[in-house]
Amino acid sequence: MYNKVGYGFIHSGEYPKALEQFGKASAIVEKVLGKEHPNTAATYNNIARVYSSQGKSQKALELYEKALTIQEKILGKEHPNTAITYSNIAITYHHQGEYSKALELYEKALAICEKVLDKEHPDTATTYNNIANVYARQGEYSKALELYEKALAIQEKTLGKEHPYTATTYDNIANVYARQGEYSKALKLYEKALAIQEKTLGKEHPNTATTYNSIANVYGCQDEYSKALELYEKALAIREKVFGKEHPDTAATYNNIANVYGCQDEYSKALELCEKALAIREKMLGKEHPDTINTYNDFLLLKRLLKGAGGS
């Protein structure tokens, strides 16, 4: 019961409430079934998933590893639930910028999914998506697109064209098109994803915020700054409400808004937001994370531009 309610709160992006419910479930399961039962591992996974969504990577990793130890021992290394935990750990490494570690675990999960579940199972599609995300982050766009298309074909067939997971894949493909400068293709897919997300998840869900953010990125690249700012502010309001002001996704939106102000020569406003984003990323991701390094470089550039413009 507590787990079911917790999933509902995750679905709506209410992470503190989800954490409370999963914590209650975990206490009961540990007491009734013991600390080495697969159901106990599942509750650890659920709590870890919330921590990961909140940007608390270290807490998430500790619980994922705890779950994995139980699953490998009780279920075996080729069980679908074990594969899910490999993927969850990989996602956390991905967020930390440790792409080789992430890929290794994703490939492990994929081998299990293809062998045990089927090549057209939704979990297999999710793993294709995850691996593609790493390739896209590394700039290997053709590899990424190939896997996204593979995932999309499965999701449209098994889940339908209006499922939130299908929407996520539309978003992912659009991200690649945007990075390649194919903005009209990207916008078309973002709008498709957004329509699904607003309908199935609601206008205040984190996934919806991500798509607002992505569409704003495209408008920014096309110098349509007022449109970009409007959507960034929309995304920011959701992220501050759902995640709080110190989450990496919130920092990303501060950074994006700063870029728009920078492009409009409003260096003082840009610097203030960039500094805000940098502080969060250094705290939550660490100084060596690629996103932190990029924000630090933006910060230095804005300081030089402000000084050149006669600011302090």
pLDDT digits (tens, 9 = 90+) for 147-187: 999 999 999 999 999 999 999 999 999 999 999 999 999 99
**Quick count: other Cβ atoms within 10 Å of Cβ 4?**
9
* Contact indicator for 130, 106 with CB cutoff of 8 Å: yes
Domains and CATH numbers, the chain: 1-117 (1.25.40.10)
pLDDT, residue 311, reads 63
Lowest mean pLDDT among 33-37, 148-152, 226-230: 33-37
Mean pLDDT of 289-306: 90
pLDDT, residue 2, reads 67
pLDDT, residue 164, reads 95
Mean pLDDT of 269-296: 90
pLDDT band for position 11 (50/70/90)? low
Q: Give the residue from 76, 65, 20, 67 showing the smallest Cα distance to 40.
A: 67
How many whole angstroms separate alpha carbon 221 and alpha carbon 123?
A: 34
Judge whether residue 5 has pLDDT over 90: no
Mean pLDDT of 188-203: 96
Judge whether residue 242 has pLDDT over 90: no
Mean pLDDT of 213-238: 96
Judge whether residue 53 has pLDDT over 80: no
Judge whether residue 199 has pLDDT over 80: yes
* Contact indicator for 203, 239 with CB cutoff of 8 Å: no
Judge whether residue 12 has pLDDT over 80: no
pLDDT band for position 13 (50/70/90)? low
pLDDT band for position 20 (50/70/90)? confident
Q: Give the residue from 242, 155, 167 showing the smallest Cα distance to 200.
A: 167
pLDDT, residue 100, reads 94
User: In the predicted model, what is the mean pLDDT of the chain?
Assistant: 92
Could you give the percent of the chain with pLDDT greater than 90?
A: 74
What pLDDT, in 10s, does the model give residues 59-109? 999 999 999 999 999 999 999 999 999 999 999 999 888 999 999 999 999
What pLDDT, in 10s, does the model give residues 102-154? 999 999 999 999 999 888 999 999 999 999 999 999 999 999 999 999 999 99
Identify the sign of the CA torsion 282, 285, 286, 291: negative
